[in-house]
Structure 1
Amino acid sequence: PESKLIDEIFKEVLDWLDDTFQTENNNHLVGIESRTEEIESVLGVGSTMNICKLGISGSGDIGKITIAGAIFNKITRRFEEFPNIGLNFQSKRLTRKKLLIVFDDVHHPRQIDCLIECLDWFASASRIIIISRDKQALISCGVNKIYQMQELVHADALKLFSECAFEGDHPK
């Protein structure tokens, strides 16, 4: 029917806007484009598969939060909004909702047990991102997949250094 066609067109426009928004906001972030695409693929964004719990692991100051923020900004429109629900949220508000949830600095599963135990509340297309330096903590949280953050490749590291030191891609 016509309404289904309109929904499909609307989704395509939103996807295009999301891609444009992502590019404009992250132009200054060196090496982020390929990483966000890879994580987005792993998350299965746009799919109605089961709830996906993705862990992002890596050493300190390697960009785990930056990459999670970029992913969040890029795909958040595809999910229902419940900003800052905190720990005292009501489960009824989350029942059967398609949610994108990001947990940062998780050291132990106890930190998120209250939510992870109730995954059956959420719609199957929900996505949960858990960030931790400790890969074992992610495994204990029962993540489906772990994205291991790597250092920048040499060319990206040189570009980042040049942008910071010389305010451009190379010395003037």
Structure 2
Amino acid sequence: MSDSSNTLPKFDVFLSFRGLDTRRSFISFLYKELIRRNIRTFKDDKELKNGRRITPELIRAIEGSRFAVVVVSVNYAASRWCLEELVKIMDFENMGSLKVMPIFYGVDPCHVRRQIGEVAEQFKKHEGREDHEKVLSWRQALTNLASISGDCSWKWEDDSKMVEEITDRISKELMIDTTRSNGSDLEGIDAHMKALHRLLNLNSKKSVRVIGIWARGGNGRSALAKFVYQNICQHFESHCFLESVKRISQDRHLSHLHEEFMIRIQGECLSKLRLKNQKVLLVADDVNKLEQLDALAEDFNCFGPGSIVIITTQDRQLLISAGIKLVYEVELLRFQKVRGLFRQLAFKEKDISAAFEVSLYRATNVAMEWLGCICGRSG
């Protein structure tokens, strides 16, 4: 598994479905409602374009999602594409990096789990033209999926009520998932949040607020920005966290910053006209050149009232040159806090025996975080 687990997921939900059955009906309604609720959703339409092979881009989209919503319909098991995709989804589910939510649309989950009835006929065709081991992996993935508690379409009178309840549940699950993963128990974070709260002014109805988070070296500005983003994004109609703007600019032309933002904000390209009336949260992490801000300014100047843009950087002069007056400096944690953070990351507790005491006085915050995580992994 790649190190993407150490960064914010790119999508909240990955939608897996058989287009032949549901693309123009249930999936269309579900996707529209997910987007309306500002749930970043990847809708897999690649089956039509790429045929039989699962692309690396699709695997990254699955890995980069918090949840996979798998809609099993009448012809789902007849699709080699769907089954290959399902194997990848269940692999990440087994790793614990992805939560899977099955929806049984017009099919009996018992038939899916036991692979009887129509599902049995579909697998007979696969066995006649596919490798035996591959078919076994498909069967196992389908059995594992159907063993997860899911939603059955026959429980609802119509699709609209079903979509409403499912998206309600996804929204709640996302809030719980964010709360668990946002690092709210790390040393010193409460003090930072209290200080930032005055700058954020979430109740403001005025024009776009641009806030700079500045720190020398690796003193936690990115971690703080992620924490802030995860805790306030639900207050905005659209939101986006752009990791490592410096790297994006190095790898590609500055014009791609706009493209990257527009794709990430909701998993699809949006027009500036649409954003003009929306309350938007944008976090641009690790900005190191003024021209990067200029490129992004074309976007956030179009945001609606109450929008917030957060810029993180090591260069305070950059913020001054850009005319950003709301600046928060991430100060070095005091020695006691650094030692507490090291213990917490390395040993999952704040009290350890004297034998494990480490001299930290001259260490930086980043070094302690890195060393603590390494110790935590190695036991």
Whether TM-score is above 0.5 comes out as yes
Instruction: Tell me which moved more, 79-88 or 57-66.
Output: 79-88
2:186 to 29, 37, 44: 29
State the match for 1:65 in structure 2.
222
2:282 to 101, 125, 138: 101
1:92 to 262, 273, 283: 273
What SS does the aligned partner of 2:238 have? coil
What SS does the aligned partner of 1:87 have? helix
What is the total number of aligned residue pairs between the two structures? 157
Question: 2-side partners of 1:122 and 1:22: how far apart?
Answer: 27
Q: Do 1:57 and 1:131's aligned partners in 2 also have CA atoms closer than 8 Å? A: yes
State the match for 1:135 in structure 2.
316
Cα 1:24/1:142, change in 2 over 3 Å: same
Question: 1-side partners of 2:312 and 2:301: how far apart?
Answer: 22
Question: 2-side partners of 1:91 and 1:48: how far apart?
Answer: 20
1:169 to 343, 350, 358: 350
Per-residue deviation at 1:164? 4.0
Unaligned runs of 5+ in 1: 1-17
Question: 2-side partners of 1:24 and 1:114: how far apart?
Answer: 31
Q: Do 1:40 and 1:71's aligned partners in 2 also have CA atoms closer than 8 Å? A: no
State the match for 1:7 in structure 2.
none
What RMSD in Å do the two structures reach over aligned CA positions? Answer: 2.9
**TM-score using structure 1 length:** 0.76
Question: 2-side partners of 1:171 and 1:93: how far apart?
Answer: 54
Instruction: Tell me which moved more, 52-61 or 34-43.
Output: 34-43
Q: What is the one-letter code of the residue matched to 2:307?
A: S
State the match for 1:81 in structure 2.
238
Q: What is the one-letter code of the residue matched to 1:71?
A: V
Question: 2-side partners of 1:165 and 1:73: how far apart?
Answer: 24
Per-residue deviation at 1:24? 7.0
State the match for 1:11 in structure 2.
none
Q: Do 2:283 and 2:309's aligned partners in 1 also have CA atoms closer than 8 Å? A: yes
The structure richer in helix per residue is: 2
Cα 1:22/1:34, change in 2 over 3 Å: farther
What SS does the aligned partner of 2:305 have? coil
What SS does the aligned partner of 1:131 have? strand
2:327 to 134, 146, 163: 146
Cα 1:33/1:82, change in 2 over 3 Å: closer
State the structure with bigger RCO (CA 8 A, min sep 6), 1 or 2.
1
Q: What is the one-letter code of the residue matched to 1:87?
A: H
Q: What is the one-letter code of the residue matched to 1:134?
A: D
Per-residue deviation at 1:119? 4.5
Q: Do 1:43 and 1:127's aligned partners in 2 also have CA atoms closer than 8 Å? A: yes
State the match for 1:115 in structure 2.
296
Q: Do 2:222 and 2:286's aligned partners in 1 also have CA atoms closer than 8 Å? A: no
